[in-house]
């Protein structure tokens, strides 16, 4: 268990699972459509007759109607009816007193014929009737995703295009509309955000999350790099001015202190200066440095921090204090500021004066 805990970030894994299942719950509770929805679309609208020349002896008859002399034309309109909702449309959902009807304006319906359907049931049962300027849709069971297509033969004036609308009532459907397939539909902002089925939302969530993280990185990384470059260049100038003064001292630690300043400023140098200025710290340095710098302690330290992080009674300041100790002992060990002789720690000769002088110079130059 200790090995698993040290290798995997279970808290992050739990967070990802919580986000995933929480998103699925929110989608199914608030955004997934659980009712049928009838979509009626005009797939095509084509003129059957077209006269480029006026031929006097030519006659076009539909029954007893002389279409040419009356300056009328015949159009074929293909219509698809589909259930785009989240459940099946049943017979009891229709209101027989207010049937679903397509109204045609400025045209006379001459013929209606079913051309295709998504199931054998619909091919047999989708019987469409019409009367003058009305097409009555059949009250058939329409499962989710199923559809049927029919064509309407219309007689109308050459200069007038037929107009279509819908009336009727289906339980759970707020509004019935007929739209052209190539007509752009205005979709609301939230409809666009949450459009798509469950699997689309599942894929979209992680992509948006990591895309957001990536965009933050792309936005702030150049700023951070530029800022760090400018700061480091400024520190190089300050360091060059200090070296030009010719008063350095304590050559053993100069290189490390200068590199520490170039890499991260004066923060770590101030920690070293604060530590060596306290005599009590030097007395306990030998014992504590051996503990804090051992491989066994470091491995146990990070595992200990994980367990303590899960305990609300363990204060944040206590967790940080242990890490600060390890950090300062590591800095002192690498810098060579402290020498150990006969298990007694003392500050290297000239180190304290050099560090104090360097800090004063840097603080003045950086103002």
pLDDT tens string 52-107: 556 666 667 766 676 766 778 889 999 999 998 888 999 999 999 999 999 999 99
Is the model's pTM score more than 0.85?
no
Per-residue confidence at 4, pLDDT binned at 50, 70, 90? very low
In this prediction, residues 329-335 reach a mean pLDDT of: 81
Encode the chain in three state secondary structure.
CHHHHHHCCHHHHHHHHHHHHHHHHHHHHHHCCCCCCEEEEEEEEEECCCCCCCCCCCCCEECCEECCCCCEEEEEEEEEEEECCCCCECHHHECCCCCCEEEEECCEEEEEEEEEECCHHHHHHCCCEEECCEEECCCCCECCCCEEEEEEEEEEECCCCCEEEEECCECCCCCCCEEECCCCCCCCHHHHHCCCCHHHHHHHHHHHHHHHHHHHHHHHHHHHHHHHHHHHHHHHHHHHHHHHHCCCCCHHHHHHHHHHHHHHCCHHHHHHHHHHCCHHHHHHHHHHHHHHHCHHHHHHHHHHHHHHHCCCCCCHHHHHHHHHHHHHHHHHHHHCCEEEECCEEEECCCHHHHHHHHHHHHHHHHC
Per-residue confidence at 140, pLDDT binned at 50, 70, 90? very high
| Percent of the chain predicted with pLDDT > 70 | 71
In this prediction, residues 126-130 reach a mean pLDDT of: 93
pLDDT at 101: 96
Between residues 195 and 159, the one the model is more confident about: 159
pLDDT digits (tens, 9 = 90+) for 187-234: 565 666 666 667 777 777 788 888 888 888 888 888 888 888 888 888
Per-residue confidence at 6, pLDDT binned at 50, 70, 90? very low
């Amino acid at each position: 268990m200790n090995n698993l805990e040290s290798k995997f970030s279970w808290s992050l894994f739990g967070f990802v699972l919580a986000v995933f299942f929480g998103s699925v719950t929110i989608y199914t509770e608030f955004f997934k459509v659980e009712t049928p929805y009838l979509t009626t679309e005009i797939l095509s609208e084509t003129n059957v007759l077209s006269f480029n020349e006026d031929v006097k002896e030519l006659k076009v008859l539909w029954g007893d109607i002389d279409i040419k002399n009356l300056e009328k034309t015949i159009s074929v309109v293909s219509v698809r009816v589909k259930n785009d909702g989240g459940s099946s449309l049943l017979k009891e959902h229709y209101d027989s007193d207010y049937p679903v009807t397509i109204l045609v304006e400025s045209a006379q319906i001459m013929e209606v014929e079913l051309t295709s359907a998504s199931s054998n049931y619909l091919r047999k049962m989708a019987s469409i009737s019409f009367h003058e300027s009305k097409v009555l849709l059949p009250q058939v069971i329409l499962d989710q995703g199923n559809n049927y297509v029919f064509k309407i033969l219309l007689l109308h004036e050459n200069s007038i295009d037929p107009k279509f609308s819908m009336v009727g009532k289906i339980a759970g459907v707020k509004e019935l509309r007929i739209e052209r397939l190539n007509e752009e539909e205005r979709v609301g902002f939230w409809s666009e955000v949450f459009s798509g089925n469950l699997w689309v939302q599942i894929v979209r969530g992680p992509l948006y999350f990591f895309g957001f993280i990536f965009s933050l990185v792309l936005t702030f990384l150049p700023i951070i790099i530029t800022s760090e470059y400018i700061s480091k260049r400024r520190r190089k100038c300050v360091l060059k001015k200090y070296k030009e003064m010719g008063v350095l001292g304590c050559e053993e630690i100069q290189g490390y202190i200068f590199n520490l300043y170039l890499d991260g400023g004066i923060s770590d140098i101030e920690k070293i200066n604060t530590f060596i200025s306290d005599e009590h710290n030097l007395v306990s340095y030998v014992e504590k440095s051996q503990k804090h710098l051992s491989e066994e302690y470091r491995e146990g330290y990070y595992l200990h921090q994980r367990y303590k992080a899960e305990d609300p009674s363990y204060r944040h300041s206590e967790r940080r204090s242990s890490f600060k100790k390890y950090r300062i002992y590591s800095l002192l060990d690498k810098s060579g500021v402290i020498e150990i002789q006969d298990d007694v720690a003392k500050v290297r000769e000239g180190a304290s004066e050099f560090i104090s002088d360097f800090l004063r110079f840097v603080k003045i130059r950086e103002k």
